[in-house]
Structure 1
Amino acid sequence: MSERVLYLMICGAGPADQIDRMVKLAQADGWDVWCVATPSAIEHFLDLDALANLCGHPVRTGHQRTGQPALPKADAVVVAPATYNTINKWAAGIADTYVLTQLAELTGLGVPIVVLPFVNTALAANRVFLRSVDELRASGVTVLFGDGGFVPHPPRTGGQAMERYPWRAALDAVWTRSQR
């Protein structure tokens, strides 16, 4: 088992259907991947058993219950696919899901975090979203939005954009951040 622990925070957006790509890339880079998923990702996109088998750990879907082992200390975090909702709530300090609670805490601890959004051009043009991206960046979070990261797609074309989703860019960025 690797000594480097990567939390993969999974939100409910199209690329979550292909989260196995990210897990396999991260494992090939030597990360021990621990997945934490939002309710929307769980309900609409993920096969929790298959993902747990791939990672070798159960997918965390909520707060730790009695008798449930704690997550190991994270060396780094990737949030992918990061939704409009999660990015805006996180930047505003709202922690109404387990993923958001963890992100708030990990941000405060200074753990290296890389965010790979998945939003369309209409959502990306919203001033609230742009302020949220700026706020997260000001908090020390790397948001891969724009050239070199995720470039938004026109509304209702997300299925076509998934093949271009830059999983590798997130892993390269988290590696760079975790070496500082």
Structure 2
Amino acid sequence: MGSTPHRPDRVLYLVVCAAPPARAIGELVDLLQQNGWTVCVIATPEAVSWIDPQALAEQTSHPVRSTHRRPDDPDVLPPADALAVVPATFNTINKWAAGISDTFALGILNEALGLGMPVVVAPYAKPPLAAHGAFQRSLEFLRDSGATLTPTEAIRPHQPDEPFRWSAVLPLLTRPAQ
């Protein structure tokens, strides 16, 4: 009976949108890595100015991607086993549900739904936007398409000086097989 070779860490594409939790996304990356994930950060164009791409590249050992690569350029990220969108903004959720792929991040998200890949979404929208009918329809569409959603704004701290509640995301990404 042969031994089973060690399975390398599974790869998670962490799509980051421009909202306050993006500023502390390195904390979530650390927790995901502790849970056995190889994390690759993909930022929306607006989110790039909310994060530190250099620090995240050092933390993950992969460049932060925010734009499409040219056809002749090599793909610098390993294939993903799952995706998480944290924080997932009103704009990204609505565009994604409509099938719009006008950014690299949205293209990756649309492909993931088409492939039936595991996707976890942590919506983060101001209460008036979260109550908007289009947002509610988009969340329902994503859920019906196989995405797993946290409750809206589940990662928001209870008090302004508290850290973000990454615990709303972690249980939805089960520990990878070793």
TM-score (norm 2): 0.86
Displacement after TM superposition at 1:54 (Å): 0.7
Aligned partner of 1:166 in structure 2 is 165
Aligned partner of 1:52 in structure 2 is 57
**Distance of 1:55 and 1:83 partners within structure 2:** 23
Matches within 5 A, 1:31-180: 31-43=37-49, 45-65=50-70, 66-146=72-152, 150=154, 160=160, 163=162, 165-175=164-174
**1:28 and 2:27 are equivalent in the alignment:** no
List runs of 5+ in structure 2 lacking aligned partners: 1-6
Classify 1:9/1:151 alpha carbon distance in 2 versus 1 (closer, same or farther; 3 Å).
closer
Aligned partner of 1:5 in structure 2 is 11
- Answer yes or no: is the 8 Å Cα contact 2:62–2:76 preserved in 1: no
Q: How many residues align?
A: 170
- Answer yes or no: is the 8 Å Cα contact 2:101–2:107 preserved in 1: yes
- Answer yes or no: is the 8 Å Cα contact 1:124–1:152 preserved in 2: no
List runs of 5+ in structure 1 lacking aligned partners: none
- Answer yes or no: is the 8 Å Cα contact 1:121–1:152 preserved in 2: no
Displacement after TM superposition at 1:46 (Å): 1.1
Displacement after TM superposition at 1:166 (Å): 2.8
Per-residue CA deviation, residues 8-57 of structure 1 (Å, 9 max, x unaligned), is: 000011100000111000000010000100011002x1111111001111
Classify 1:151/1:75 alpha carbon distance in 2 versus 1 (closer, same or farther; 3 Å).
closer
Classify 1:24/1:64 alpha carbon distance in 2 versus 1 (closer, same or farther; 3 Å).
same
CA RMSD across the alignment: 2.4
Classify 1:152/1:172 alpha carbon distance in 2 versus 1 (closer, same or farther; 3 Å).
closer
**Distance of 1:40 and 1:79 partners within structure 2:** 14
